[in-house]
């Protein structure tokens, strides 16, 4: 079989291959908690945050506010560089909304990270409604010397779902933010959840078509999960019938259908989210990201299909 649009034989435009080609070396993200909050937590747009959110489920143990940005980077690098001494790193500002502060404050945080000799760029996780022209002009300057990516939590293309999960922004704001980031030539990644209550398979496949027509560079998908300590935990206890949790096989099939409709230029970073078992209520798959990706690739082969085939 000849190579696909993305230049290799895998049946979707996968992130590891993209990174190897872009950097010609092994590159790893190092997570940072810089002490941010969110406008739907501090009362600006709401309180309580997103109903599914417990940051402890994805923040590594070395990320804590008692440790400086540089200290967190050192600990993260120490963890990964035991295996690969020549590895380079991206500082991943991950917890909460990492553009939600005055620009001067953001400059101090971002530039401290970039001063580390093994950091070659930033990945900045944020919300579509906390993007502005002044910030983008600054990130454009940074991108002339370092790799910069803005990761946007879109979560859904349906406003009713965004309201249900207490996001505090609309999908129109998501579209505008993607357009603004793209207009500045800054890399972006869109984050979406499949399986939110009151959404259907038809909705998710329509979402793939909508995302395909937006200026999205990278995409992160993950299955709906419910964690301890979240508003969704309480919703699950009160009204369990409103939730449907995919089996692994069911979700594999959905992901393959989604990929068939997805623009082949979009790099897919992941399909699933992993959480500490002690914090996860449902669904309990016990499967790692790379294991699920292998199942998707296997099913793509079995169906003789690929990303973008039905676009």
Q: 218 lies in a domain? A: yes
Enter the tokens of residue 232: 């969704």
Give yes or no for residue 287 having a pLDDT over 60. Answer: yes
Which residue range(s) make up the domain with 286? 15-302
Q: What is the pLDDT of residue 68?
A: 92
Q: 97 lies in a domain? A: yes
pLDDT-derived band at 256, boundaries 50, 70, 90: very high
Residue 290 neighbours by CB distance under 10 Å: 9
pLDDT-derived band at 11, boundaries 50, 70, 90: very high
Q: What is the pLDDT of residue 79?
A: 83
Give yes or no for residue 211 having a pLDDT over 90. Answer: yes
Give yes or no for residue 181 having a pLDDT over 60. Answer: yes
Q: 311 lies in a domain? A: no
Q: What is the pLDDT of residue 26?
A: 87
104-118 as b/e, with b when 16 or more CB fall inside 10 Å?
Answer: eebeebbebbbebeb
Q: What is the pLDDT of residue 61?
A: 53
Q: What is the pLDDT of residue 57?
A: 56
Q: What is the pLDDT of residue 85?
A: 72
267 DSSP β-pair partners: 218
Count of domains forming the chain: 1
What's the first-to-final CA gap in the chain, in angstroms? 21
Quote the percentage of the chain above a pLDDT of 90.
Answer: 87
Q: 30 lies in a domain? A: yes
Residue carrying structure tokens 């070659």: 120
Cβ atoms of 134 and 101 closer than 8 Å: no
Enter the tokens of residue 240: 């369990």
Q: 286 lies in a domain? A: yes
Cβ atoms of 192 and 226 closer than 8 Å: no
Q: What is the pLDDT of residue 55?
A: 66
Q: 307 lies in a domain? A: no
- pLDDT digits 0-9 by tens, 289-299: 999 999 999 99
Whole-number Å distance between alpha carbons of 51 and 49: 6
CATH code of the domain in which 189 resides: 3.80.30
Q: What is the pLDDT of residue 265?
A: 97
Whole-number Å distance between alpha carbons of 148 and 155: 21
* Strand arrangement of the beta sheet that strand 147-155 belongs to: 27-32, 88-93, 119-126, 147-155, 187-194, 218-223, 267-270
pLDDT-derived band at 307, boundaries 50, 70, 90: very high
Q: What is the pLDDT of residue 10?
A: 94
Enter the tokens of residue 201: 């398979």
pLDDT-derived band at 166, boundaries 50, 70, 90: very high
Q: 4 lies in a domain? A: no
Q: 171 lies in a domain? A: yes
Provide the mean pLDDT of the chain.
Answer: 93
- pLDDT digits 0-9 by tens, 47-87: 999 999 986 655 555 445 568 999 999 999 988 877 777 78
SS3 227: strand
pLDDT-derived band at 115, boundaries 50, 70, 90: very high
182-199 as b/e, with b when 16 or more CB fall inside 10 Å?
Answer: eebebbbbbbbbbbbbeb
């Amino acid at each position: 079989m000849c190579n696909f649009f993305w230049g290799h034989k895998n049946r979707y435009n996968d992130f590891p291959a993209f990174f190897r080609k872009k950097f010609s070396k092994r590159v790893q993200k190092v997570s940072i908690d810089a002490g941010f909050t969110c406008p739907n937590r501090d009362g600006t747009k709401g309180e309580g945050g997103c109903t599914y959110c417990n940051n402890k489920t994805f923040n590594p143990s070395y990320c804590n506010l008692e440790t400086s940005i540089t200290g967190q980077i050192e600990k993260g690098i120490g963890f990964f560089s035991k295996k690969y001494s020549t590895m380079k790193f991206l500082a991943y500002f991950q917890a909460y909304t990492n553009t939600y502060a005055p620009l001067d404050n953001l400059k101090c945080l971002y530039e401290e990270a970039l001063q580390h000799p093994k950091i070659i760029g930033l990945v900045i996780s944020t919300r579509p409604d906390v993007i502005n022209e002044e910030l983008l002009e600054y990130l454009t300057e940074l991108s002339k010397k370092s790799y910069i990516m803005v990761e946007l939590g879109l979560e859904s293309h349906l406003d009713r779902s965004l309201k249900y999960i207490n996001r505090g922004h609309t999908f129109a704001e998501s579209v505008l933010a993607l357009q603004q980031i793209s207009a500045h030539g800054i890399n972006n990644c869109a984050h979406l959840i499949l399986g939110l209550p009151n959404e259907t398979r038809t909705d998710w496949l329509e979402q793939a078509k909508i995302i395909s027509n937006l200026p999205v560079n990278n995409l992160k998908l993950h299955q709906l999960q419910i964690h301890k300590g979240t508003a969704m935990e309480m919703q699950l206890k009160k009204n369990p019938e409103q939730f449907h949790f995919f089996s692994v096989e069911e979700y594999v099939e959905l992901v393959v259908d989604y990929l068939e409709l997805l623009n082949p230029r979009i790099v897919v970073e992941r399909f699933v989210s992993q959480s500490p078992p002690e914090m996860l209520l449902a669904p309990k798959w016990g499967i790692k990201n790379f294991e699920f990706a292998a199942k998707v690739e296997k099913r793509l082969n079995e169906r003789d299909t690929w990303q973008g085939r039905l676009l």
